[in-house]
Amino acid sequence: MTKAYQGYLIDLDGTMYQGNEPIPYASDFIQTLHHKQIPYVFVTNNSSKTQEDVAAKLRKLDIPAEPSQIVTTSLATASYIKANHGLSRCYVIGEEGLHKALREEGHIITETEDCDVVVIGIDRNITYEKLAKASIAVRNGATFISTNGDKSIPNERGLLPGNGSLTAVISICTGVDPVFIGKPEAVIMEEALEVLGLSKEKALMVGDNYATDIQAGIQAGIDTLMVFTGVTPFSDYKQLAVAPTHYVHNLKEWMEKL
């Protein structure tokens, strides 16, 4: 008999949607959780959007979501910097979601390499000059933090360069490895559990990417449910070093167990 989980941590890209296209049965799955009053939060390595933006996108796809149910790497990054370095002057490569989270936490965003912390998140307007400033700051001793290490991100066009690929440019230039915040790291999972209001033993992590979503659950001691609707194909399953707790080909299969 399948364990009855009291709450769900759910990935977005590749699990709920790809780009602007909904994943089959994603809406039905969340509607079922909502109807059964089973708490859930969405955990995403995408730092570009605000909580409000993400919730609005999900609702357009007929997926019930409130901003308070969205845990982004931007929020976890802003919290991590404050907890470990205090309020800081940050040189930021990233989009509105990251800038907003840092500002609301009380950090100062500077446009120069004279900073305490270099923060990089996905930036679809990346330039050589942004990378140059970040590299100079890191060489001068600024703490180097990356929202996530995803080498690629799923999109309706296919797999596109992710923040890990952008981060690698600075790492290779400076010889300095960043602190990563997003999945599979523990930082974002601890924040998500706090928002969910449950201990790790009572929650289930749902995702499509073995290297990020499933490894995040494994490393945090949370049971995992792998869906083969995004990055990791089912053909890889038998070669996985540590198998997920559960797997389904799509979320309709899991709905039948709720």
Task: Choose, from 13, 53, 208, 213, the residue flagged as catalytic.
Answer: 13
Q: Report how far residue 205's alpha carbon sits from residue 184's, in angstroms, rounded to the nearest whole number.
A: 11
CA angle at residue 109 from 143 to 103, to 5 degrees? 105
**Residue 41 near residue 198, CB atoms below 8 Å:** no
Catalytic annotation present for 123: no
Catalytic annotation present for 208: no
Residue 6 has a CB neighbour count (10 Å cut-off) of 15
**Residue 57 near residue 66, CB atoms below 8 Å:** no
Secondary structure letter of residue 214 according to DSSP: I
Token pair of 56, please? 């609005």
**Residue 92 near residue 99, CB atoms below 8 Å:** yes
Task: Choose, from 11, 116, 150, 213, the residue flagged as catalytic.
Answer: 11
Q: Report how far residue 141's alpha carbon sits from residue 129's, in angstroms, rounded to the nearest whole number.
A: 19
Distance of CA 42 to the CA centre of its chain: 9
Residue 64: partners with Cβ closer than 8 Å, 6 or more residues away: 30, 31, 34, 58
- Catalytically active residues are 11, 13
